[in-house]
Structure 1
Amino acid sequence: MATIRKIAEKAKVSIATVSRALNNDPKVTEDTKKLILKIANELNYKPNIVARNFAKKTSNIIGLILPDITDEFFSELIKGVDEVTYQHNYFTMVISSHRYLQLESTLSSVLRNGLLGGLILLVPNINASLKNILSQTKIPFVLMSGGMSSTNYDVVSVDNYQGAYDMTNYLIKKCGYTKIAHITGPTDNDDAKIRVKAFKDACLENNISIPKNFIVEGDFTRESGVKSGMELMSLKNKPEVIFAANDMMALGCYDAAFKKGLNIPDDIAIVGFDDIFVSQYLNPPLTTVRAQIEDEGKKAAELLIEKIKSKISVNNQPKKIKIATELVIRNSTKIIK
């Protein structure tokens, strides 16, 4: 394997000179730089990024902590983040917090090891323990969360309220549904709280009553969509439409409808939130709220790199970026009025 020592031997210069040349140090003459770079290319030299980070006390590695790296939603976020970091010569290190079960320990670990130059973190909310960890970090970070608990930090988030509000209004005013159920995300998740509030507000404004058993808690997984969907579809006075707080739970509702022998949208209509890639290929294609997931990842990465390059103090006024949503009307709903 090619090393700095081998390059130095072949170029007949010191190891220190090779190191300076590879880091574009102005103290090294142009002729020497060209010679060293030519030899490095011939030897197919690959720098040890980790060692360089420790030596320079800087890093071009961006950490991205997500609850689940296999979920399609998070795959689209990763794509957006990585596209921007690559353009700016940063590497993306994706780290799973295992559905938030190990969020605090994972965060503490990555902040201790000194590998990261910056961090993007998807969080359900900011509790006291997480707030304490973030207050001690020395590297720039950006959060992806839509809730009030993240008001003191730089945040990129989807406009959860407007998206859920617009969808509920569409179901009522355009389609004519009056019996609307909602499968929420986890009760401790800020995004889920905002979406259910928007749903309730829109129903109230349109004089649509919501029976207590029409709101069921899920956890943003397909499995919880199946369970909650089965529960709602088994009610004696079942809803006309189910608004799942994300597309993965909407997929679970499709599974439940199939198990119950119900036709979508004739027997039960289903809508979601996110517009993940697979939603357009369901049978029937899913009506949903497009959350511009990849764009959210891009904006988070752009904001973080801006902070890193400008060395913005953590005490500066936090920046808030909201990603606009739009309705994507497909065939899982119908006009009934």
Structure 2
Amino acid sequence: MVSTIKEIARLANVSIATVSRALSGSPKVKEETRQLILKIAKELNYNPNLLARNFVKGKSNLIALILPDITDEFFSEIIRGVDDTAFLSGYYTMVISSHKNRSLVESIHTIMGAGLVGGAILLIPFLSKEIKEALNHERIPFVIISSDNSQNSYSMVSIDNYGAAYSMTEYLIKKGYTKIAHISGPADNNDAISRKQGYIDACKDNQIKLKKNWLVDGNFTMESGNSACKVLLDLKEKPEVIFAANDMMALGCYEVIQERGLKIPKDIGVTGFDDILLSKYLNPPLTTVKVHINELGITAAELLLNKMGSQSYAANRKVKVSAELIVRKSC
């Protein structure tokens, strides 16, 4: 039998209103009565109905975290950062994926417009016109995790993708590499666009020849890294090192290179971006860019909680999370 406030009231011989006040910590309830109600609630394994509590208070203690996917390690770290920070302030995190069964615009309208959540954090790879229109109609505070630096209308947390990719490419050049390939992420993803531009500019600034067929498109998955690496290894003039725009694509490169009996970095070097947990356990360990992924989630949650606690939602802020080169043995 599901425990209800009505049942607790009957057993404590008090009104439903008294039970509600006791469970919400109201000072109007005598301490002796409160303790009795709490004791009965515990014995009945009572869990408060969040929707009902939110309705009574006129505010929600739920935060929506809307992600394009929830299977990648990158996203799990963001979830952990948001959830830990929100929980410390008395909020719960509801994670929604817009990857397969619903579009991001659908998620914005459905989740943010339902009155269920008090605020939202959205990871948006690319701020399209449709997404901007959807966001402009919302009336709850929100924060965006994205690298679309052209936007000033929203509070936004981003990674220094360009600077980190530039630094990685320069590091490879200083090591003596002149034939540097790049596997980029999706064409409609701002992180991928910035990383690709960092690679291109570092090559140009250091007078390193850019060959068109050394720049291969991927989509941030291991499978796409696998396919792109096959394309690069089948070229007549092969690159000396592959800079993959994320670690999952670098993993795909490892698989192909090892299948072909080649050695990393003796025959070809590989580097990545993100520094997911698996990177340091590869053979050889992967040289990559460490993104403080957990910090992305923490920073976004802090910005949102600040907006939710302000009468005017607080001013929009743009925060850039640092990234650093992690040198291992893959190049």
**Bin for the TM-score computed over the shorter chain:** over 0.9
Q: Residues 1-337 of structure 1: matches in 2 within 5 Å? A: 1-98=2-99, 102-173=103-174, 175-313=175-313, 316-333=314-331
Q: What secondary structure, in the 3-state scheme, does the structure 1 residue paired with 2:188 have?
A: coil
User: Equivalent pairs: percent with the same residue?
Assistant: 55
5+ long unaligned stretches in structure 1: none
Superposed displacement of residue 281, structure 1 = 0.7
Say whether the 8 Å CA contact 1:125–1:149 is kept in structure 2: no
Hey, what's the Cα distance between the residues in 1 that align with 2:100 and 2:236?
34
Distance in structure 1 (CA, Å) of the matches to 2:325 and 2:311: 38
Distance in 2 (alpha carbons) for counterparts of 1:312 and 1:276? 38
Indicate if the aligned counterparts of 1:125 and 1:150 stay in contact, CA closer than 8 A. no
d(CA) in 2 for partners of 1:132, 1:211: 39
In 1, Cα distance between equivalents of 2:300 and 2:248 = 23
Which amino acid in 1 is paired with 2:70?
I
CA distance in 2, matches of 1:100, 1:216: 29
Change (3 A) 1:100 1:239: farther
Deviation at 1:101, TM superposition (A): 6.6
Q: Secondary structure at the match of 2:309?
A: helix
**Within 1, Cα distance between the matches of 2:111 and 2:52?**
16
CA gap of 1:284–1:190, structure 2 versus 1, over 3 A, is same
Q: 1:93 to 1:51 in 2, by over 3 A?
A: same
Which deviates more, 104-113 or 282-291?
A: 104-113
Give, in angstroms, the shift of residue 99 of structure 1: 6.3
Provide the C-alpha distance between the structure 1 equivalents of 2:235 and 2:124, rounded to a whole number of angstroms: 34
Amino acid at match of 1:93: M
User: Structure 1 residue 231: deviation in Å?
Assistant: 0.6
Distance 1:47 1:7 in 2: 12
* Kept after mapping to 2: 8 A contact 1:67/1:100: no
Displaced runs of 4 or more, over 6 A: none
What CA RMSD, in Å, does the superposition of the two structures yield over aligned residues? 1.7
Which amino acid in 2 is paired with 1:309?
G
Q: TM-score, normalised by structure 1?
A: 0.93
Return the offset for 1:132: 1.1
Q: CA deviation at 1:267?
A: 1.0
User: What one-letter code is carried by the residue in structure 1 that aligns with 2:69?
Assistant: D
Secondary structure in 2 matching 1:195:
helix
Q: In 1, Cα distance between the equivalents of 2:311 and 2:163?
A: 33
Mapped partners of 1:100, 1:294: distance in 2? 26
- Paired residues, what number? 330
The amino acid that maps onto 1:254 is Y
Preserved CA contact (<8 Å) 1:140 1:307 = yes
- Checking the alignment, whether the CA contact within 8 Å between 2:166 and 2:198 is kept in structure 1 is yes
Q: Is the 8 A contact 2:143 2:156 kept in 1?
A: yes
Cα drift, residue 11 of structure 1: 2.0
SS at match of 1:148: coil
Give the Å deviation of 1:294. Answer: 1.1
1:136-160: CA deviations, max 9, x gaps?
Answer: 1121111110122433211111111
TM (norm. structure 2) is: 0.95
User: Is the 2:112–2:119 contact (alpha carbons within 8 Å) kept by the matching residues of 1?
Assistant: no
